[in-house]
Structure 1
Amino acid sequence: MEEGKFVLWAQVRTGSPQMKVDNEGILRPNAWPEGGSIVYLGDVTRSLLSSLGPHSPPEFIERPGFDEQRWTISVQSNELKILIRSESYWGFGLFARCYLNKIEIIGTRNDAARIAFDIVASLGRDPWATTFPFAFRRKTKSPINEHQTNWTELINSSKYELAENIELIADQYRKLRGKVDKIGKEQLMGVDENITMARQALHDRNAPAVSRALSRAERGLILANPKTRSDLEEQMNESDDDEIPFVDLTESE
């Protein structure tokens, strides 16, 4: 899938967490022992960074100055690149709600969709719902309904992909029922439970929980099928045989 650039604008509600920028322009925890200047990350960026999983330390392209909530950072996770700009759009930035985030996602549409889905799930609110609609429109040069469309199209795309993955596993489950032995029946009970958990997690907009439930269900399907079960057990046995033997080096010679 080809890469593209996806731009999303979000209303900030809270300035927390308070963090630090070290001397090299890297985002650090507030308890960073080597000092640094203060920065207020905001709830949107906090949600975005937590949804990325493993990623490089965010770097400040524009460091905060007197206004500790005005900044631009860059972060990368594998091939995915993200730029986030925080700035005031109303009332000289006297309150956290006077700020917005411009999010530029450079990657595949699937990547952008997952990020949008996870941000909204983490925030528990619609990021396009603004405190000062007129000022938000003026700053972003786009109407609110256009922002809503940009967000919801990506969110629905991610939701559709997750739902499709659930149905693929559910279809395999249905095909195996009645064709397994006693061990397989026990495994299929677990598969059914995990499919239900995945659907509930999707309803709750919890993408990581969906992935975990599907991973367990997929393993259960392998163990339920006598043909694939033997292959998996053989691989597990080979893995055990390849383990490096333990040598107690604490004993004196």
Structure 2
Amino acid sequence: MAEPFGNASVVLIGQVTKAKSNHRVEKATRLLRNETFPGKTEVVYLGNIASAIIAALESPDTPEFTQLPGYNEQKWQLKTISGPLTVTITSDSYWGFGLLTSGYLNIIELTGPTSVIARLIFDLVASSGWQPWRFKHPSSAQRYLMKRRPDISLDANEQAWVKFVELCKQEISELIEVMENAIANVARKVAAIEILEGWSKSKAEVSVAAARYDLNIANEALADRNLPSVERAIARIEASLIEANPDNAMNEENSGLIIEKSLESIRFDDDLVVNPSDDELIPLVDLTDEE
């Protein structure tokens, strides 16, 4: 069971729906390569789930095959690390002797921060046109799990997928709520002040309106499961609030510089100041030419 915060280890089973021969495994290193790699390689069928996971990871290590594909090019196991997240994916057949793509599943093992896992699962489900926990051949999938993974049932697998999707959605909803409260807070400040040097009330009101508009965009994007759009909207909200907040007092052109109190006065060291009495001790030298 994964907690909202902290680390988690989770195993998810997903139905493969597509697989292409556009990836290779380098025999010398066991590393995943693309089809144009010049070295000695063999064909491997990754499938849509594994391809989507690798594409969604942030700067992952090159995946390494811990189990190489053999005669069956769609039966393999690979592992990669992306920051704090460790990902292991096993591709195996569960129906029809592996003759058709619909007879394959992926066992996805994820270890790392719960929030990172939730985001990965959310992106995977949102970017695809299928629900990975729904199998083309459910009876065969259940028999496979009973034999290979008796600790996981089809129902428990579906609940695990949905749980992480909802967890990510909850975290983003809370972030949007924080932005909504921030907009209300800045709007109250703007309403309470009429004139402030280096700050324009009219410009601030426009910025607050823009933030409210982007808040609606963020909510709509979340409903569409479009997290990149949510993140862009939140970034715009933050920028608008910085512009509007009278505490910053820097949204007016030619507002001048805000000087820290420590720099408002300049202190000279006493031994660098020439006093009138000291001036008398300094000899004068006539540098004019004598006639």
Count of aligned residue pairs for this structure pair: 233
Q: 1:29 aligns with which of 26, 30, 34?
A: 34
Unpaired segments ≥5 residues, structure 1? 238-253
1:157 maps to amino acid:
L
The change in CA–CA distance for 1:213 and 1:35 in structure 2 (over 3 A counts) is: farther
SS at match of 2:136: coil
How many Å apart are 1:209 and its aligned residue? 2.1
SS at match of 2:59: coil
Name 1:137's counterpart in structure 2. 142
Name 2:171's counterpart in structure 1. 161
CA contact (8 A) 1:58 1:75 kept: yes
- TM-score (structure 1 length as normaliser): 0.86
How many Å apart are 1:230 and its aligned residue? 3.5
Q: Percent identity?
A: 33
Name 1:38's counterpart in structure 2. 43
* Greater relative CO, 1 or 2 (CA 8 Å, sep 6+): 1
Name 1:80's counterpart in structure 2. 85
- Report whether the alignment pairs 1:200 with 2:220: yes
1:215 maps to amino acid:
A
SS at match of 1:4: strand
How many Å apart are 1:35 and its aligned residue? 3.9
CA contact (8 A) 1:117 1:155 kept: yes
Written as runs of structure 1 = structure 2, the 5 A alignment for 1:101-140 is 101-140=106-145
Moved more, 30-39 or 161-170: 30-39
- How many Å separate the matches in 1 of 2:50 and 2:17? 11
SS at match of 1:34: coil
How many Å apart are 1:101 and its aligned residue? 0.4
CA contact (8 A) 2:23 2:44 kept: yes
In terms of Rg, which structure is larger?
Answer: 2
How many Å apart are 1:36 and its aligned residue? 1.0
Written as runs of structure 1 = structure 2, the 5 A alignment for 1:140-151 is 140-141=145-146, 142-151=152-161
2:109 maps to amino acid:
E
- How many Å separate the matches in 1 of 2:153 and 2:64? 31
- How many Å separate the matches in 2 of 1:229 and 1:210? 28
CA contact (8 A) 1:222 1:229 kept: no
How many Å apart are 1:17 and its aligned residue? 5.9
Unpaired segments ≥5 residues, structure 2? 147-151, 191-200, 258-291
Name 1:4's counterpart in structure 2. 8
- Report whether the alignment pairs 1:223 with 2:212: no
How many Å apart are 1:217 and its aligned residue? 1.2
Moved more, 25-34 or 94-103: 25-34
SS at match of 1:123: coil
Structure 1 or 2: larger helix share? 1
